[in-house]
Amino acid sequence: MRIVKSSAMEAIRDLIEPAEDGAQQTQELDRTVRRADGVIMPVAGGANLIISFIASSVIRVRFAAPGQLERDSSYAIHRPEGWGCPVTVRETIDEIEIWASPGARVRVQKESCLLTVFDEHGGVVVEDDPSHPPLFNSMDGSVAAAKLRSEHEYYFGFGEKAFLRARNGLITEMWNTDTYGYPLGTDPIYQSIPFYMALCDGRAYGLFFDNTYRTSFDMGGTDPKRYTFSATGGELNYYVFTGGCERSPRTVLRDYTDLTGRTPLPPLWSLGYHQSRWSYQTESRVRDLVQRFRESQIPVDVVHLDIDYMDGYRVFTWNGERFPDAAQLSRDLAETGIRLVAIVDPGVKVDENYAVYQEGQARNYFCRRADGEEFRGRVWPGECAFPDFLDLEVRTWFGSLYSRHLDEGISGFWNDMNEPSVFPELELDPHDFHHPAKTFSPDVVHAGDGLPGDHARYHNVYGMQMARATFEGVKRLRPEDRPFVLTRAGFAGVQRYAAVWTGDNVSSWEHLALSIPMLTNLGVSGVPFVGADVGGFSGEPSGELYTRWLQAAALTPFFRSHTETGSKDQEPWSHGTEYEQINRATINLRYHLLPYLYSLFHEHEETGAPVMRPLWFEYPSDQRTYEVNDQFLAGRNILVAPVVSEGTLKRGVYFPAGDDWVDWWTGIRYEGNTESEIDAPLDRLPLFIRSSSSVLLQPIVQHTNEMNKTALTIAAVLGAHGESSFYEDSGNGYEYMQGVFSTIRVSIGSGSLSIMRSGAYHSPRPINCVELLGLNGLPRGIRINDHIVDSTPIDNESPRLRLLLPDQNSHEISITLEGMLHANDMVDELLPFPALGSG
Ligand code: GLC
């Protein structure tokens, strides 16, 4: 039986003498205690300022009261090995300086407690605003910090936000909220990630405010010279990521995800196309749906079962009339390469005859109010109790409940309504998104894994801990498989457990446009596996909108169509044959590029880099990229410029400075730092490959199980020297962690390309073809290893030179184009290459 002591919630702030209005500014320090990784500085008035170096480029700042320091714990932080970095401390009468060498440096002015962080070159990264020293308010428990800002500083990240542009000049809050049909600018919405990345003149840094209360960030919205962050409770506990020597977005995100964790490589099947709606109501509807996909040769891997599969919405049950034999259904679907994902919400129906409720109640696993009464709220099943996911024992129990579905062959789980959301008992205006009646009552008490606290403290982590219960439970039950979990709510670190979708969006062009910055900003907030409901959840898209949305999402990490109950069909064929053909080609494109996308997930696990990237992530010195919100990069090598407005058949595309780009469809080469009008007929997603780079492709398959039967292709753009690397493994399980994976390295030089395959994973997939895009003409001769190739198929439809490799099992392939030093240096006497590179 689990015991939650609500009385143990006393906050440190009570120890600080309140000023008249409750506000208390930190005061002069008197004695410093040194630690290997930093210092503890007592502050007159009762607080301690603790500065520690997590790594040479990661500084933690923590304000707390002496003697009452809470156990140092965080739901966000995933402690890496080697936590803490040795530092040197220098103290004078006025100042304390702490630095890692080489590394960042922190200076604290003793009298004011003002803090400045410098990078390893001595440049200022963040600096407290002298007119707004760090603040504790002992009356209401709030904390705040203010930093000076340059007017040219841009901010990105903050997790899931319904903003189109960078966050400078904006005020934003963190309070997980169910916001059905959120209009642009609605804030907050489902997820809380109090981390941002700043960019100023090409240099990046990051800041993570590790506080689970309701937090606010005013990024120059009130005063352009300052930004502030504050919370309604908890400690002033934050991390500054200086970006190391490079000061690049990549190093900032590497350090942030070292701290908060990364997404482990997902199962390959989860990168396929997912089809969903609320709900495919019956088994026969699901079977018909799958049959339609297979008959019309539209690839798909996953079908989602929304709430109507359950018996009266009781989690971990089935409606026996609609789904008489779930195990048989999943077995049959598995034969055609289909997996099922089932939704599981947190609300457990209050029903004395329902085993899950009985057990949860008997073991005291449901959330209670401070007076000990079980908290109840209405959701889909009617009156519900809610597991306290802020408790290991409860998470373990809930996680174990998935065994039934796993035995039935369900492959993945979708956690929804976990903000947590409850239906308000009073009639609310649907636009009153943030009414307190939409979530748990404030007097609900959570176990906090040994640090009990009220709902205000743990609201923002409830959903993430539910996703954790699911992920860890499924992993325990099926240790050989990689779990797939999808969650709506989350907090910093949610990426360790789940993919995230952007909730109940709207079938509108505005929402399609919004999906790009929403997803790229989630990516730079450490969450790589993200997607928006294709076609929009609320409302009904036109054929054109659905088709453009499918294109825009084809290279987003999580690719799922989903719509609300009662709406018209929203499948790739629902708008007639003309659209169906285009939609098939779009999903084919996804499967074509799947080996490349899979490699990007591996890159994320290794480095923290997102799969879907804003342009500035790779081109921070090109300040024009800071304002580009309708294009993104899939990894480093593909630039995607979807059409996000109605009736548009051409669009402007900005090519970031420093690289040339080649149009995937036309072979036309574009220089970096230019903008061009690009044709975008309805059947085309504008797509560009970076010069001197390559991507890994496969022929079209109908689902990921078919992949092993096909060969691989490398598509490359020649140019100056460049390297690309791709990753392969079995697509599931954990052998890759023991080194069972392999790497394909492609090096590009002037007029040449070489491929090296190495590693312990014996891939069944030969590389049988190399495609060269963006050539200006034909080379005089082609040599592949030691063979001279004299006839080469030319694909005029999508201009590219297609080289079939003679020895497909070779681990080293070298290709030389003779008579072609640089692709750009082609001379007139070379054979004309029809329709190639005419731009
Ligand atoms: C919520 C989810 C949505 C789901 C519906 C029914 O609105 O966001 O995706 O379809 O609940 O479960």
Atom of ligand 1 nearest to the CA of 565: 10
Q: Which of 310, 413, 564 to mutate to test the pocket of ligand 1 (most atoms within 8 A of CB)?
A: 564
Q: Per-residue pLDDT for 580 more than 60?
A: yes
Going from the Cα of 177 to the center of ligand 1, the distance in angstroms, rounded, reads: 13
Of residues 266 and 806, the one with the higher pLDDT is 266
Q: 332: which 2 tokens?
A: 């049959």
Length of the chain: 839
pLDDT of residue 837: 32
Atom of ligand 1 nearest to the CA of 504: 8
pLDDT of residue 19: 39
Chain center to CA of 626: 19
Evaluate whether 234 touches 226 at the Cβ level (below 8 Å).
no
Q: Prior bond to 806 cis, omega within 30?
A: no
E strand or H helix at 472? helix 455-477
322-376 pLDDT, tens digit per residue, is 999 999 999 999 999 999 999 999 999 999 999 999 999 999 999 999 999 999 9
Label the pairing between strands 171-174 and 203-209: unpaired
Evaluate whether 490 touches 527 at the Cβ level (below 8 Å).
yes
Atom of ligand 1 nearest to the CA of 278: 10
Positive/negative CA dihedral, 339, 340, 345, 350: negative
The rounded distance, in Å, linking the Cα atoms of 501 and 496 is: 15
pLDDT of residue 80: 59
Positive/negative CA dihedral, 434, 437, 438, 444: positive
Q: 528: which 2 tokens?
A: 């790589």
Phi, psi dihedral angles at 728 (to 5 degrees): -135, 140
Q: Which residues of 128-273 form beta strands (DSSP E)?
A: 135-137, 143-148, 154-157, 171-174, 191-192, 195-200, 203-209, 215-218, 226-231, 236-241
Q: Which of 177, 275, 417 to mutate to test the pocket of ligand 1 (most atoms within 8 A of CB)?
A: 417
pLDDT of residue 83: 76
Whose C-alpha lies nearest to ligand 1, atom 7? 504
pLDDT band (50, 70, 90) for residue 827: very low
Q: What is the pTM of this model?
A: 0.94
Q: Which of 176, 180, 343, 511 to mutate to test the pocket of ligand 1 (most atoms within 8 A of CB)?
A: 343
Q: How many CA atoms lie within 13 A of 668 on its CB side?
A: 12
Q: 312: which 2 tokens?
A: 């009266």
104-142 pLDDT, tens digit per residue, is 999 999 888 899 999 999 999 999 999 998 887 778 888
pLDDT band (50, 70, 90) for residue 832: very low
Query: What mean pLDDT do residues 44-57 have?
Result: 87
Residues with CB under 6 A from ligand 1: 278, 306-307, 343, 416, 488, 503-504, 537, 562
Whose C-alpha lies nearest to ligand 1, atom 3? 504
Q: 394: which 2 tokens?
A: 């409860």
Going from the Cα of 578 to the center of ligand 1, the distance in angstroms, rounded, reads: 30
754-770 pLDDT, tens digit per residue, is 999 999 999 999 999 99
Active site residues: 416, 419, 504
Label the pairing between strands 274-275 and 302-305: parallel
pLDDT of residue 18: 36
Q: 256: which 2 tokens?
A: 């942030």
Evaluate whether 349 touches 383 at the Cβ level (below 8 Å).
yes
pLDDT band (50, 70, 90) for residue 781: confident
Chain center to CA of 224: 29
280-313 pLDDT, tens digit per residue, is 999 999 999 999 999 999 999 999 999 999 999 9
Residue 263's nearest CA partner among 445, 108, 484, 454 is 484
Q: Per-residue pLDDT for 824 more than 70?
A: no
Going from the Cα of 278 to the center of ligand 1, the distance in angstroms, rounded, reads: 7
Q: 289: which 2 tokens?
A: 């749906």
Q: 71: which 2 tokens?
A: 């156990």
For the chain, the distance separating the N- and C-terminal CA atoms, rounded to the nearest angstrom, is 72
Q: Give the amino acid at 519.
A: L
User: Residue 729 burial (CB < 10 Å; 0-12/13-18/19+)?
Assistant: buried
pLDDT band (50, 70, 90) for residue 780: confident
Atom of ligand 1 nearest to the CA of 488: 8
Whose C-alpha lies nearest to ligand 1, atom 4? 278
Label the pairing between strands 48-55 and 58-64: antiparallel
Chain center to CA of 91: 42
Going from the Cα of 343 to the center of ligand 1, the distance in angstroms, rounded, reads: 9
Going from the Cα of 478 to the center of ligand 1, the distance in angstroms, rounded, reads: 27
pLDDT of residue 247: 98
Atom of ligand 1 nearest to the CA of 277: 10
Q: 834: which 2 tokens?
A: 């029809």
pLDDT band (50, 70, 90) for residue 13: very low
Whose C-alpha lies nearest to ligand 1, atom 5? 278
Q: Per-residue pLDDT for 46 more than 80?
A: no
Atom of ligand 1 nearest to the CA of 307: 12
The average confidence (pLDDT) of the chain is 92
Distances (CA, A) of 585 to 396, 417, 638, 693: 43, 34, 18, 24
- Which string of DSSP letters, residue by residue, matches 481-509? S---EEES-EETTGGGT-EEE--S-BSSH
Going from the Cα of 283 to the center of ligand 1, the distance in angstroms, rounded, reads: 19
Going from the Cα of 502 to the center of ligand 1, the distance in angstroms, rounded, reads: 11
The rounded distance, in Å, linking the Cα atoms of 38 and 51 is: 5
Q: Please report, to the nearest 10 degrees, the dihedral formed by the alpha carbons of residues 118, 122, 127, 131 taken in order.
A: 140
59-73, 117-131, 586-600, 749-763: which has the minimum mean pLDDT?
A: 59-73
b/e sequence 587-624, b meaning 16+ C-beta within 10 Å? bbbbbbbbbbbbbbbbbbbeebbbbbbbbbbbbbebbe
Evaluate whether 137 touches 22 at the Cβ level (below 8 Å).
yes
Q: 2: which 2 tokens?
A: 């689990």
E strand or H helix at 257? helix 249-260
Adjacent-strand bridge partners of 817: 782
Phi, psi dihedral angles at 598 (to 5 degrees): -60, -40
The rounded distance, in Å, linking the Cα atoms of 682 and 427 is: 43
Atom of ligand 1 nearest to the CA of 564: 10
Going from the Cα of 418 to the center of ligand 1, the distance in angstroms, rounded, reads: 11
Max Cα–Cα distance, the chain, nearest Å:
89
Residue 620's nearest CA partner among 253, 175, 113, 224 is 253
Q: Give the other-Cβ count within 10 Å of 800's Cβ.
A: 24
E strand or H helix at 742? strand 742-749
Residue 690's nearest CA partner among 621, 747, 773 is 773
Evaluate whether 539 touches 563 at the Cβ level (below 8 Å).
no
Whose C-alpha lies nearest to ligand 1, atom 12? 307
Distances (CA, A) of 349 to 313, 315, 345: 8, 8, 11
Which of the 8 DSSP states describes residue 647? T
Atom of ligand 1 nearest to the CA of 503: 8
Positive/negative CA dihedral, 667, 668, 669, 670: negative
- Which string of DSSP letters, residue by residue, matches 529-547? SEE--BT-SBS---HHHHH
- Give the position of tokens 């402690």: 79
Cα angle 222, 187, 436; round to 5 = 110
Query: What mean pLDDT do residues 690-714 have?
Result: 97
Going from the Cα of 416 to the center of ligand 1, the distance in angstroms, rounded, reads: 7
- Give the position of tokens 């898209």: 541
Evaluate whether 707 touches 698 at the Cβ level (below 8 Å).
yes
Evaluate whether 170 touches 62 at the Cβ level (below 8 Å).
no
The rounded distance, in Å, linking the Cα atoms of 515 and 532 is: 6
Which of the 8 DSSP states describes residue 349? E
Residue 598's nearest CA partner among 774, 489, 775, 728 is 728
Based on C-alpha coordinates, what's the Rg of the chain? 28
Adjacent-strand bridge partners of 204: 199
Q: Which of 277, 306, 565 to mutate to test the pocket of ligand 1 (most atoms within 8 A of CB)?
A: 306
Going from the Cα of 222 to the center of ligand 1, the distance in angstroms, rounded, reads: 36
190-247 pLDDT, tens digit per residue, is 999 999 999 999 999 999 999 999 999 999 999 999 999 999 999 999 999 999 999 9
The rounded distance, in Å, linking the Cα atoms of 310 and 344 is: 9
Q: Give the other-Cβ count within 10 Å of 71's Cβ.
A: 8
Q: 603: which 2 tokens?
A: 């890159």
Phi, psi dihedral angles at 174 (to 5 degrees): -120, 110
Q: How many CA atoms lie within 13 A of 545 on its CB side?
A: 18
Q: Which of 278, 280, 421, 567 to mutate to test the pocket of ligand 1 (most atoms within 8 A of CB)?
A: 278
Distances (CA, A) of 791 to 259, 454, 752: 54, 74, 18
